[in-house]
Amino acid sequence: METALKQEKTGVIGKAHALLLLEQMMLIRRFEEKCAELYTQEKIRGFLHLYIGEEAVAVGVLQALTGEDFILATYREHGHALARGVEPGVVMAEMYGKQEGCSRGRGGSMHIFDKGKNFFGGNAIVAGHLPLALGMALASKKQKKNNIACCFFGEGAAAEGEFHEVMNLASLWQVPLLLVCENNLYAMGTAIRFTHAVQELEKKAVAYGVEATAVDGMDVLAVEKAAGEAAGKVRSTGRPFFLVCNTYRFRAHSMFDSELYREKAEVEEWKKKDPIKLLRQNTMQQGIITPEEAAIVQNKVEEEVQKAVAFAEAGIWEPIEQLTQFVYSDRQLET
């Protein structure tokens, strides 16, 4: 991390970019902390999977993507949506189930979706969105577009058949697909050592002739650099790339998870690698940002989250008369 920051001072990164990365990660963290509070108050219902601890992955990778690129994520996708630029109030309204949400409140936490941002979920089935990403990448190739499809998924999905099918077809068809595995070591609640015979997940790409690399997913600068190189190769060659970000979630799998599968001491040890604290501390040590500037960002984030909550609270519940809208067609079938 320190080496990366020394490079930054010579022009790779400046104050503005350091503050941008810090703000995006802090926004995700505070937004999700607030979601956890609201969940205990039953303002947010259903399932809730928090991204706390993994913020460097979404923020780092998104720096390498353009607004024309397609993005698909798992049900732990609030961070990706916020880093993509989906309005916090719109995301919060969706969590509340209000009409002002990005999916009119019908998707909730696991189905954040914004076509205008080319953000296609929020997908609840483990590995179910990998074939969708493959199809989008194939469409881009056939339409001769220069955009790529970026698919975020966990190491649990890498144990599913869809992962191998997609890796195989992406290589055969030579499509612009960036596969980003967020390896948090436990999937839903089973340690990776019990589910993957080869735990260095990047090695799985070799069998399919796909280039791959692994990166420290707790270091936002390292992720940004690796993602930039990976996305650049996908754009220039039209070939798929597999990026593994080794990270860790500080919270349980979901709000219903009793978290009996890992020791608290392990979690506390990983918290020493908190990506937000590391970026903040190291940028201050290198003289890139000041404590006062970091405090301003913190206050800005807090205000933004409060506004998001207020927006969701003021939102409108969908009338029961519209319950079947978008479910059944109003058109009569011709006989």
Taking CA 144 as the corner, what is the angle to CA 58 and CA 213, rounded to the nearest 5 degrees?
35
Q: Which residues of 49-68 are buried (b: 16+ CB within 10 A; e: fewer)?
A: bbbbbbbbbbbbbbbbbeee
Give percent above pLDDT 90 in the chain.
88
pLDDT at 12 over 80: no
Q: How far is residue 144 from each of residues 139, 159, 180, 303, 321, measured CA to CA in Å? A: 8, 32, 23, 43, 44
pLDDT tens by residue, 94-110: 999 999 999 999 999 99
Cα(257)–Cα(49) distance, integer angstroms: 10
The stretch 102-130 carries a mean pLDDT of 94
Cα(323)–Cα(304) distance, integer angstroms: 32
Average pLDDT of the chain to the nearest whole number: 93
- Quick check: 219 and 158 in contact, CB under 8 A? no
- Quick check: 57 and 155 in contact, CB under 8 A? no
Provide the pLDDT confidence category of residue 327 given band limits of 50, 70 and 90. Answer: confident
Per-residue pLDDT, 334:
55
The stretch 153-161 carries a mean pLDDT of 96
Provide the pLDDT confidence category of residue 210 given band limits of 50, 70 and 90. Answer: very high
pLDDT tens by residue, 22-55: 999 999 999 999 999 999 999 999 999 999 999 9
pLDDT tens by residue, 219-243: 999 999 999 999 999 999 999 999 9
Instruction: List 177's β-bridge partners, or say none.
Output: 149
CATH for 2-313? 3.40.50.970
